[in-house]
Amino acid sequence: MTFVRPGVLCAALAAAFPAAASAATDADLKQLREQLRELRQSYEQRIQALEQRLAETEKQASQAAVSAAEADTTASAAARSVVQVESRAAEAQAAADSVARRPTGESAFNPAVSLILDSKFTRFQRDPASYRIDGFMPSGGEVGPPRKGFSLGESELAFSANVDHLFRGNARFSLAEDDGQGTVEVEEVNVETLAMPAGLKLKAGRFLSGVGYLNQQHPHEWDFSDAPLAYKAFFGPRLQNDGLQLRWVAPTELFMEFGAEVASGERFPGAERKANGAGLWTAFAHVGGDIGESSAWRVGLSHVHSNPRERSFEDNGVNNAFSGRSQTWIADFVYKWAPNGNSSVTNFKLQGEYFQRRETGELTYDTEGVAASSAARFRPSGGYLQAVYQFMPQWRVGVRGDWLRSGTTDLGTLSAADLPILAGYDPRRQSAMVDWSPSEFSRLRLQVARDQSRNGEADNQVWLQYIMSLGAHGAHKF
């Protein structure tokens, strides 16, 4: 097999027609083109043998072609014919490649894996260990800020893949360290259907409830370093269900989605159960659409119902418990704007949610001691409003306002002095952030906040955080 480097080839072609360069009349050019065509045809017969080597030396060929283009018309004509030969060779090469690249073996069916790294450096005025939201029954969840100084946040490890033609499986674990002990938490493990008729979708397992707006987003998708106060106080800090979810999307141009969930209700606002059946029910509806090319919106209304039995909480070193009926309503909206819908340079996002809860039942003071019980009623409410603006590529600024109202509290015959955390108080928090995302997969954020969750003790906070996404390119929800 003869091997001709394209660079040499093109130089040879240039040298072969010195006359054409000096006297480039039309007739000469026509004749030249004829000769080149003949040449090309003869080359084509040899392409089969040349293609491997040509692909290897493609870079040299393109450099050669550039220098040839600078030389003279004859040389550039020669380079063109080389480029054409080369592109045919590359075509054959690409076809060969696509066959060779076709994945083989068992590993081709591995689920998509993604890993989220999250780490923080914080500066707080108050001790995070003493964090509480005054005026609200503690949720028992992880709602406090991380430790002062450097802290390793939760690393999330997620797997997902189609199981078969009917099901898709998702699993998401969070890995963290708690007092030197490594902990693994199961955030989500569920199976969803792919082929239910009539726009229905069923999900079973552990999942983030579809209520509200932010509830379904994972912490790395949040626009701020921590959850809104309302989520911390009402769901501690989000509603995670073990159960079933049914959703239906209406076949209309206006987006309309309706969903319902039944779940064990073992977590706040439910409580640990020993009974059969479900302990928590939700229903939600979302409606959304576009306003012109530039704006998109979604609004929703959700309801969460549960009947907690002996939901315990600690207050001032004493254990208390609530049993009764808990109902929560959430109204949410999100509005996004980007010029012509092109969010890459500038965009704006406004979102807000409002929560209202009614709980009626029996409150027991000091379950391990005097165990005094009384009928009790609570009507807390709260919400947040936040705006995030990307003012140039990669850079965003945002502000968020949180407010909570402990509302009317009726403790019946119990003494309010025994339950200081339930004393009327309206927590507040203001946050501002700026973040920089050099790519879709990395984000660095600075957040400052003034947190008045504790009655009479404002906490000025500074957060520095990074969030990195490795692995599969996850698609985010709206």
Q: Are the CB atoms for 336 and 294 separated by under 8 Å?
A: no
Among 24, 69, 318, 464, binds another protein (CB under 8 A): 69
The nearest distance, CB 345 to another protein, in angstroms, is 5
As a whole number of angstroms, the distance between CA 460 and CA 117 comes to 26
Among 250, 416, 423, 462, binds another protein (CB under 8 A): 250
Considering only residues 105-164, where is the footprint of another protein by CB under 8 A?
A: none
| Tokens standing for residue 449 | 């906040």
Q: For the chain, what is the radius of gyration of the CA atoms? A: 32
Among the candidate windows 188-196, 220-228, 351-359, 447-455, which touches another protein by CB under 8 A? 188-196
Among 38, 91, 127, 310, binds another protein (CB under 8 A): 91
DSSP 292: T
Q: Are the CB atoms for 306 and 283 separated by under 8 Å?
A: no
Question: Residue 217 or 373: which CB sits closer to another protein?
Answer: 217
As a whole number of angstroms, the distance between CA 110 and CA 261 comes to 30
Q: Is 169 in the site for another protein (CB under 8 A)?
A: no
As a whole number of angstroms, the distance between CA 470 and CA 116 comes to 6
As a whole number of angstroms, the distance between CA 190 and CA 172 comes to 9
Among 105, 180, 182, 251, binds another protein (CB under 8 A): 251
Among 6, 5, 8, 23, which residue's Cα sits nearest to residue 72?
23
The nearest distance, CB 6 to another protein, in angstroms, is 14
Beta bridge partners of 419: none
As a whole number of angstroms, the distance between CA 6 and CA 70 comes to 17
Question: How does DSSP assign 55-110, residue by residue?
Answer: HHTHHHHHHHHHHHHHH-HHHHHHHHHHHHHHHHHHHHHHHHHHHHHS--SGGGGP
Among 92, 32, 35, 33, which residue's Cα sits nearest to residue 58?
92
Among 119, 323, 343, 373, binds another protein (CB under 8 A): 343
Among 99, 165, 181, 274, binds another protein (CB under 8 A): 165
Beta bridge partners of 121: 150, 464
Q: Is 316 in the site for another protein (CB under 8 A)?
A: no
Q: Is 397 in the site for another protein (CB under 8 A)?
A: no
Among the candidate windows 241-249, 264-272, 355-363, 414-422, which touches another protein by CB under 8 A? 241-249
The nearest distance, CB 57 to another protein, in angstroms, is 15
Question: Residue 86 or 118: which CB sits closer to another protein?
Answer: 86
Q: Are the CB atoms for 172 and 157 separated by under 8 Å?
A: yes
As a whole number of angstroms, the distance between CA 85 and CA 37 comes to 11
As a whole number of angstroms, the distance between CA 411 and CA 431 comes to 33
Write the interaction track for another protein spanning residues 284-303; mark x where CB under 8 A is met and - where it is not.
--xxxxx--x--xxx-----
The nearest distance, CB 280 to another protein, in angstroms, is 23
Q: Is 276 in the site for another protein (CB under 8 A)?
A: no
Among 443, 358, 333, which residue's Cα sits nearest to residue 395?
443
Q: Is 223 in the site for another protein (CB under 8 A)?
A: no
Q: Is 199 in the site for another protein (CB under 8 A)?
A: yes
Task: Count the neighbouring beta carbons within 10 Å of the beta carbon of residue 332.
Answer: 22
Q: Are the CB atoms for 353 and 375 separated by under 8 Å?
A: no
Q: Is 197 in the site for another protein (CB under 8 A)?
A: yes
Beta bridge partners of 451: 429, 459
Question: Residue 293 or 410: which CB sits closer to another protein?
Answer: 293
Q: Is 184 in the site for another protein (CB under 8 A)?
A: no
| Tokens standing for residue 216 | 């379904």
Q: Is 201 in the site for another protein (CB under 8 A)?
A: yes
| Tokens standing for residue 150 | 């450097």
The nearest distance, CB 392 to another protein, in angstroms, is 9
Per the listing, tokens 């509302």 go with 407
Among 249, 318, 387, 458, binds another protein (CB under 8 A): 249
Question: Residue 247 or 429: which CB sits closer to another protein?
Answer: 247
Among 1, 275, 417, 475, binds another protein (CB under 8 A): 475
The nearest distance, CB 419 to another protein, in angstroms, is 40
As a whole number of angstroms, the distance between CA 167 and CA 162 comes to 6
> CA angle at residue 45 from 40 to 49, to 5 degrees?
115
Q: Are the CB atoms for 375 and 339 separated by under 8 Å?
A: no
The nearest distance, CB 268 to another protein, in angstroms, is 28
Q: At what angle do helices 73-101 and 6-16 cross, to 10 degrees?
A: 160
Q: Are the CB atoms for 134 and 455 separated by under 8 Å?
A: yes
Question: Residue 337 or 403: which CB sits closer to another protein?
Answer: 337
Among the candidate windows 68-76, 267-275, 363-371, 400-408, which touches another protein by CB under 8 A? 68-76
Write the interaction track for another protein spanning residues 425-444; mark x where CB under 8 A is met and - where it is not.
-------------xxxx---
Write the interaction track for another protein spanning residues 2-41; mark x where CB under 8 A is met and - where it is not.
----------------------------------------
Among the candidate windows 14-22, 194-202, 264-272, 372-380, which touches another protein by CB under 8 A? 194-202
Give the interface with another protein as residue ranges (CB under 8 A). 62, 65-66, 69-70, 76, 79-80, 83, 87, 91, 94-95, 97-98, 101, 165, 168, 192, 194-201, 247-257, 286-290, 293, 296-298, 336, 340-345, 393-394, 438-441, 473, 475-478
